[in-house]
């Protein structure tokens, strides 16, 4: 029996990537801080993910269409959180501010 693991590897890798970036955005939300986060991080991610969605659609690679569409949406959320935290003037984590 010849089994092709290509799709399984792709979906597993996509899940790991989606989980890690989601955790980072969640951490940024919870901390209310922009400390250590570049203003260009989410702008670059939006640009790259948008391009990769388009490319992946053109080559009909649905693992990457889904993954990059998710990454694009997470980048939008991350950018809004970043801007919210910057407006509040939170440049360092809440835990560090509480110990002052």
Q: What tens-digit pLDDT sequence spans the chain (100 residues)?
A: 555 788 888 889 889 988 988 888 888 888 888 787 777 888 888 898 999 999 999 999 999 899 999 999 998 998 898 888 888 886 655 544 444 4
3-state secondary structure of 91: coil
Joined tokens for residue 12: 């597993």
Q: Is residue 2 included in any domain, yes or no?
A: no
> Does a structural domain hold residue 10?
no
- Asked whether 78 and 45 are in contact (CB, 8 A), the reply is yes
Residue 13 lies in a domain: no
State the pTM of this model: 0.72
Q: pLDDT at position 20, please?
A: 87
Check residue 3 and give its pLDDT.
59
Structural domain total, the chain:
1
> For residue 54, is it within any domain?
yes
């Amino acid at each position: 029996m010849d089994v092709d693991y290509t799709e399984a590897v792709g979906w597993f890798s996509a899940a790991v990537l989606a989980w890690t970036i989601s955790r980072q955005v969640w951490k940024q939300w919870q901390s209310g801080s922009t400390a250590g986060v570049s203003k260009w991080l989410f702008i670059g991610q939006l640009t790259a993910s948008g391009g990769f969605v388009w490319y992946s659609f053109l080559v009909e690679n649905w693992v990457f269409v889904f993954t990059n569409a998710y990454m694009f949406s997470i980048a939008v959320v991350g950018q809004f959180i970043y801007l919210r935290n910057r407006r509040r003037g939170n440049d360092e984590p809440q835990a560090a501010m509480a110990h002052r």
